[in-house]
Every structure is written in structure tokens, then in C-alpha cells.
Amino acid sequence: MQAPVEIAVDEVEQVVARVAGIDVAKASGMVCTRLPHESVPGRRVTRVWPVKSTTAALGELADQLREQGIERIVIESTSDYWRPFFYLLEAAGLSVWLVNAAQVKHVPGRPKTDKLDAVWLAKLAEKSMVSPSFVPAEPMRAVRDLARARFDLVEDRARVKQRVEKLLEDALIKISSVLTDVHGASGRAMLEALIAGQRDPKILAELARGRARARRVELEAACSGRFTDHHARLARLLLDQIDQLGKHIDTVTTLLDEAIAALPAPVPDPPVGAPPTRAPPGRARSTPVRPATPARSSGCARSPAPARTACARSSVRSVWTCRSSAPPGGCVPGPRSVRAPWNRGTRRAGREPARATAT
């Protein structure tokens, strides 16, 4: 048997002397601090106490933790309840780590209470056994909020449009079987005429515009139904709701363009061959950033505000992750954005693998 060989390991376990863990909830949080004992070397003192999640209470907590010389605070990402703790403590100048709940799960069999959860978070922070998640700066948070609001409004408008189509099916009006978009110019004109009291299928079919006029015979048959005053009242409410949502979408889109235009300029590319830069303490990413893809038509670094808006809108649902520090090209693939590059060119059923050709 080969004799064991002693090797030199560069990495040394980092132990933080003064740490705090906060188990957050909706109206309160449980704080745990672990500090070195003043008189007994090697011993640590653990203190646990509850704190309300109000602004005044968290301001007092920040002062208390600053006086104790806390070097690191770990907060578990629980719903949106972590936001007041993270924002206020970070604004007070403390080093706050937001960690994924999957990293701080208790060992099976361990009792689980608020106090024990706070102690567990503090112990993990003390031994550096967790990694912080990326929390964007306030300007990018505003962009994300506006992008999410626009995404939700578009979804709401799509649902209302589906209700209109369902109402037409109940009234035996089959316009959607002929027209691609019931809410286009031709469909909207027919809907307004139906609501106004027009029931003649031939007159309704004559309201078609553009290429839809070539299908007036089919439209005449589709408009022959049982559209009553009851359907007209419901259709009026739904169409007004669609118009109102459209106005909200335009307003949010304008605000989103302005917020994206106000973002800081992207950091330029480092020189070729330069070592990679590391994120400052407390702001490391939980997911490594992949190399930037070639510039796209919706890139945010070199494109005008409307094009950058398209990138930011899609980043909300983890399709693309748009970062203000991205290199020229603008967009960096997010964790679930595209297929991993090492999967490209692999053999598939019925296809030959890609081969390099000499040029």
C-alpha cells in the first residue's frame, strides 16, 4: 500500500469572529449573535432575541449590531419578508448576506424553532458555510419592479381578451374562427357594432378591413348568432377593461424606458489577459456569470432605450439576465436562459454531429 503524502492546502477555513443570523417572518424576526467570550478564550457567547420588522425597530437593531462590531449578518430568503431587514441593515453600513433557503436547511431530525433557526444561521455564517445571493442595486431593482408590473399587466390583458372570445362563443358568434385576431381592426369594429345593436350579419361582415375583406362571405356566416343585450353589456365591460389595461401598459413602458436609460453606464471590458476581478465582500453572486454572448438586436449596452427595454422585460422571468455591469454586447445568459454550450454539437437522433472544416 502506498504511504500517505502530506500536501499543502492553500484554502484555510474562514471563521468569522462576530456574526449574526436573522430568521425573518412577516411581522418580526429572531436575531442571534455569536461573539467571542471576553474572559474565556475559545468560548463563544450566543444571544437570541426577537425584533419587530418595522423601520424604527430595525433601525435600533442596526445600531445595536454596529456597536457589537458584527462583521457579517446572514438572512434567509423567505418570501419578501427579508426585504426590510436587508435594505435597512445594508443601508446602515453592515455586511448583510442573503442566502438561499436550500443552503440553510436543517439536518433531518434536528428540532426546528425560530430560535434554533436563528442560531443555525449564525453558525453557518461563522464557519462561512453559505454563499450570498446577488441582490441588485436600487436602480436595477426599480427596473425589475417596472418590468414585472408590465409583464403582469400584459398577462391580465390576455386573460380579458380570452373572456371576450368565450363570450362570443356563448353568443354563437364565430368571428375567431375566421379572423386571426378578434381584437384587431376588423374584429374590434364588428364587436363595437354588435354592442351598439347591429345584428345584420351582412352589415357586420362589411366592416372588415384590409385582407379580411376577402373573407366577407365567411364572416357573414360567422356573425350569424344569438348576440343579446346581456352579451352586449358584458362585452362593453370587457372591452373597456382591455382599453384601460392598454393605457396602463403604455404608461409602465414609458417609465421602464426612463428607468433603463437612467442606469449607470456598463463597466468596460478588462484588458486581454488580465486576471478576473472578484466581487467585493458581501456582494458575491450565488450563480457564476457565464461568458457574454455576441451582441443581439435587443442588447442593452449599445441599443437605444426601447431595445434595452425588451431585454429588461424578458430578464424578469429568467430568460435573459440584464446587468448594468455586463460587457459590451449587453446581455449575459441567465441560469436557465439557453442550453449549455457544452451540449451544442452533440449527436442527436437522425443527425450527424457538427464537424470543423479547415478554412
* pLDDT score at 11: 61
Domain definitions of the chain by residue range:
19-126, 141-261
Rounded to an integer, the average pLDDT of 132-148 is 90
Q: Is the pLDDT of residue 236 over 80?
A: yes
Q: Which CATH number fits domain 19-126: 1.10.3720.10, 3.30.420.10, 3.40.50.720, 3.40.47.40?
A: 3.30.420.10
* Same fold? 19-126, 141-261: no
Task: Name beta bridge partners: 35.
Answer: 45
Residues 6+ apart with CB under 8 A from 283: 132, 134, 135
**Mean pLDDT of all residues in 132-145:** 89
Of 1.10.287, 1.20.58, 3.40.720, 2.30.30, which CATH number belongs to 141-261?
1.10.287
Report for 9-18, 105-114, 128-137: range of highest mean pLDDT: 128-137
Contacts 24+ apart (CB under 8 A), 331-335: 331/292, 331/293, 331/296, 331/298, 331/299, 331/300, 332/289, 332/290, 332/292, 332/293, 333/290, 333/293, 335/287
Contacts 24+ apart (CB under 8 A), 235-241: 235/164, 235/167, 235/191, 235/194, 235/195, 236/195, 238/160, 238/163, 238/164, 238/167, 239/164, 239/188, 239/191, 239/192, 239/195, 241/160
Q: What's the rounded mean pLDDT across residues 257-267?
A: 87
Is residue 302 pLDDT above 50, yes or no? no
Round the average pLDDT of the chain to a whole number and report it: 78
Question: Which tops the pLDDT comparison, 79 or 312?
Answer: 79
User: What average pLDDT score do residues 286-307 get?
Assistant: 42
Split at pLDDT 50, 70, 90, the class of 356 is very low
Q: Tens digit of pLDDT for each residue in 7-52? A: 876 665 677 888 999 988 888 899 999 888 877 777 888 899 999 9
CA–CA dist 57, 72 (Å, integer): 19
